[in-house]
Amino acid sequence: MTIRFFRNISRPMDWLNYHHLYYFWLVAREGSLNRACEKLRLSPSTVSGQIRNLEETTGRKLFTKSGRNLVLSEEGRMVFRYAEEIFSLGRELVDTLNNRPTGRPLRLTIGVADVVPKLVAWRLIQAALEIPEPLQLICRENKPDQLLSALSQHQVDMILTDGPANPQVKVKVFNHQLGQCGIVFLASKVLADQYRKGFPRSLNNAPLLLPTENTILRRSLEQYFEACGVRPNIVGEFEDSALLSAFGQEGLGIFPVPDMILDEVKRQHNVHLVGRAAQVHESYFAITVDRRIKHPAVMAICESARLMLARGSKADIG
């Protein structure tokens, strides 16, 4: 019988020197090598050498030079975010061991695509505020592709949007479909009374306010109009749904909204139902870097949204 013994040899990256990480974190946080060295009571050459060792260990350039200043690289920003978490947990551990309250809430950064109506975003995110843990919520609004870039750099924890990730954007993410809801048309009382009868044929040459052509909803509505054999008069196009609703409130045109926020929009803008666009739906997705969602607030959002949208899809609006 032959017995072989193997040493457990790990790659260099498996052994991260946390002193080096701490020096990097402090320089990044202070925004200056000299200020960090004053706090550490070490020479600039010593601290610079330790950061270079960290860069060699990680195989990433963490800082770039801009004149006399050091600026975090893309990889550096990601490492800094992890370092913030690591040393924050370290302080929390010391506080816990000394029976001091930590007061540290759970942090959730959500990227909301600019195509998602604000009221819809609120309805979907609301469940995160109901979890037992204290929560620090940060919402960032941007174009979907820019949010995907932020997600890949761990600057946001999840994205709420109206479609799956653009496959042309080369980032590894996972699409979690939350569900879909119907679309209704609303208008001021005068326009609603005028165009409600005979809907949707009544939309032929009717004044309409629509989302811009680069949106999924706009393309769905154009297919709907074609199927109904109507050609509305598009008097305005808007990227921002809140602005679209404000123009609709003033009686400038009939406008579409997701039926899940029908009551809120009617109440806030004093508008009335014209009709429901049969077979037109708007979908909503949560996009994360994890196949299996672990963040408790993200889990709460996804579970609540799926239930809410599933109920809404069965509702009959008169």
Residue 262's pLDDT band, with cuts at 50, 70 and 90, is very high
First to last CA, the chain: 82
168 or 20: which carries more pLDDT confidence? 20
Question: How far is residue 107 from each of residues 81, 91, 150, measured CA to CA in Å?
Answer: 12, 16, 16
16's tokens? 């991260």
Distance CA 224, CA 203 (A): 11
Least confident range of 7-11, 56-60, 153-157, 212-216 = 7-11
pLDDT at position 17 is 83
For the segment 217-222, the average pLDDT, to the nearest whole number, is 95
Nearest to 240 by CA among 282, 207, 208, 212: 212
pLDDT at position 84 is 85
Nearest to 216 by CA among 280, 302, 139, 297: 280
Residue written as token pair 């960290």: 54
- Residue 94: phi and psi, rounded to 5, are -65, -45
For the segment 266-287, the average pLDDT, to the nearest whole number, is 94
pLDDT at position 312 is 66
Q: Which helix (H) or strand (E) element contains residue 66?
A: strand 63-66
3-state secondary structure of 98: coil
Tell me: pLDDT of 184 over 70.
yes
pLDDT at position 276 is 96
14-44 pLDDT, tens digit per residue, is 567 888 899 988 888 888 888 888 888 889 8
Q: Directed axis angle between helix 33-40 and helix 44-58, to 10°?
A: 110
Q: Do residues 57 and 23 lie in contact, with contact meaning Cβ atoms separated by under 8 Å?
A: no
Distance CA 318, CA 312 (A): 13
Domains, the chain: 12-97 (1.10.10.10), 106-179+284-314 (3.40.190.10), 180-281 (3.40.190.10)
Distance CA 39, CA 55 (A): 22
Give the pairing of strands 63-66 and 207-211.
unpaired
